[in-house]
Amino acid sequence: MAPLLLTTAAALLSWALLALLLPQLRRRLPDQPNARSSHQRPTPRGGGVVFALVGAAFALPLGSAMPALCLPLAGVGLLDDRRSLSPALRLAAQLATALVLLAASSWAGTGWLLAAPLALAVVALINLTNFMDGLDGLVAGCLLVLLAAAATPLAGAGQPALWPLVGALLGFLPWNWSPARLFMGDAGSTFLGAVFAGALLQAPGWRDALALLLVATPLLADSGLCLLRRLLARQPLWQAHRLHLYQRLQQAGWSHARVAGLYSAATAALALAQRAGGWPWLLPLAAAVVLIGVGLDRRVAVPFAVASTVTFNSQPPQWR
């Protein structure tokens, strides 16, 4: 009962704090539309710091400091939302967070030959999550499902201290769902990527961690495959773009809610498959999700090659 009460309290507190802070965020952290934006009017960002603080604070009574270990990264993300920090500083903060999460996990005793690639994998996961935060409700909806899947006991294992963060995201989502009145910003997306990585590191075994990664297929496949396609096209990876599948679906005329709903529903279906049937259900469904994405890429979304020709200037492209 304690996790349920804390989750409910976290949801209500997150919603109420955001309602109080929204005027300040509008004044101090406005996100002006630009060529990369999917929104058409100024919208405040930085709201992720609220669910980060609430989720981390409410996890402590349940015996987990892991979300709190990711709070410094949320602080760096908030500064980046305000004044655009250098990539080197952001990367250093992400790497420091990865090392702290490793030190607090069961992998702490491993040698550097294993710790180094694990730390780099955590940094990659933080960035892959951050890359997907480009449409209303997309990352919040998917991570809500992912963290609930990690929190729910399966065969006696689970991380119930993640439930308050799930609640805090529930309080945030009404503000972030389309049409969004508030963005989470890097303060939220990098924090969520780090917490997800921490949940993987604290999974009971590698099979559990791999299963949770497969539940994240809609997010990670889109982000990872887009990165690979850009590498193969010899595009500068630091160059601004709108080439993710979710972005090109929106460019083709799909609404924010339709895209975010599809990704969140696919993540939920994978989480249910993990719970109901385990690997025999999870693997084919994850493969089916990837195939559906390929079909949408070829038949619905603005083609990758066409979207690659867009030159970003001071005005956002008019897709619709």
The dihedrals phi and psi of 44, each to the nearest 5 degrees, come to -70, 150
Q: What is the rounded average pLDDT for all residues in the chain?
A: 92
pLDDT in tens, 29-42: 998 876 666 666 88
pLDDT top residue among 78 and 240:
78
Q: Over range 62-67, report the average pLDDT.
A: 94
The dihedrals phi and psi of 154, each to the nearest 5 degrees, come to -135, 115
Q: Measure the N-to-C terminal CA separation of the chain; round to a whole number of Å.
A: 48
pLDDT in tens, 146-155: 999 999 876 5
Report pLDDT for 315. Answer: 39
- pLDDT tier at 157, thresholds 50, 70, 90: low
Helices (H), the chain: 2-28, 48-59, 66-69, 71-83, 87-103, 112-131, 138-151, 163-176, 185-201, 206-215, 217-232, 245-251, 256-277, 279-299, 304-308
Report pLDDT for 131. Answer: 95
- pLDDT tier at 319, thresholds 50, 70, 90: very low
The dihedrals phi and psi of 30, each to the nearest 5 degrees, come to -75, 135
Helices (H), 136-184: 138-151, 163-176
Q: Over range 175-184, report the average pLDDT.
A: 97
Q: Which two tokens stand for residue 112?
A: 């550097």
Q: Is the dihedral of CA 206, 209, 215, 219 positive or negative?
A: negative
- CA atoms of 254 and 296, how far apart (whole Å): 11
pLDDT top residue among 248 and 39:
248
Worst-scoring range by mean pLDDT, 18-22, 59-63, 118-122, 146-150? Answer: 59-63
Q: Over range 258-273, report the average pLDDT.
A: 98
Q: Residue 316 pLDDT more than 60?
A: no
How many angstroms separate the Cα of 106 from the Cα of each of 102, 199, 306? Answer: 8, 12, 46
- pLDDT tier at 178, thresholds 50, 70, 90: very high
Report pLDDT for 154. Answer: 64
- The DSSP code for 303 is P
pLDDT in tens, 94-134: 999 999 999 999 888 777 788 999 999 999 999 999 999 99
Nearest to 201 by CA among 90, 89, 110, 73: 110
Q: Residue 280 pLDDT more than 90?
A: yes
Q: pTM (2 decimals)?
A: 0.94
pLDDT in tens, 207-224: 999 999 999 999 999 999
Report pLDDT for 210. Answer: 94
Report pLDDT for 239. Answer: 80
Residue position matching structure tokens 């099979």 = 207
